């Protein structure tokens, strides 16, 4: 499995974003179960193998 990390060149100071490609739905669900509700400032978006992880303040 190849996972690519894409990092935007300009990120706002209040938000950080990490994009991972090649993530399966099962991996996404495992990550959700592992994180639980312990990270209220963390948002995860998943679409067709691409996982976007966003942190906000």
Using CA of residue 13, residue 16, residue 7, residue 48, what is the dihedral sign? Answer: negative
Helices (H), the chain: 25-35
**The pTM is what?**
0.69
The whole-chain average pLDDT of the chain stands at 86
Q: What percent of the chain has pLDDT over 90?
A: 58
Confidence of residue 48 (pLDDT cuts 50, 70, 90): very high
pLDDT digits (tens, 9 = 90+) for 12-30: 567 899 999 999 999 999 9
Task: Check residues 40 and 26 and name the one with the higher pLDDT.
Answer: 26
């Amino acid at each position: 499995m190849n996972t690519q990390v894409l990092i935007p060149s300009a990120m706002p100071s209040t938000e950080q974003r990490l994009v991972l490609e090649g993530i399966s739905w099962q991996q996404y669900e495992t990550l959700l179960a592992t994180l639980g509700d312990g990270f209220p400032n963390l948002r995860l978006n998943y679409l067709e193998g691409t996982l976007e992880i966003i942190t906000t303040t």
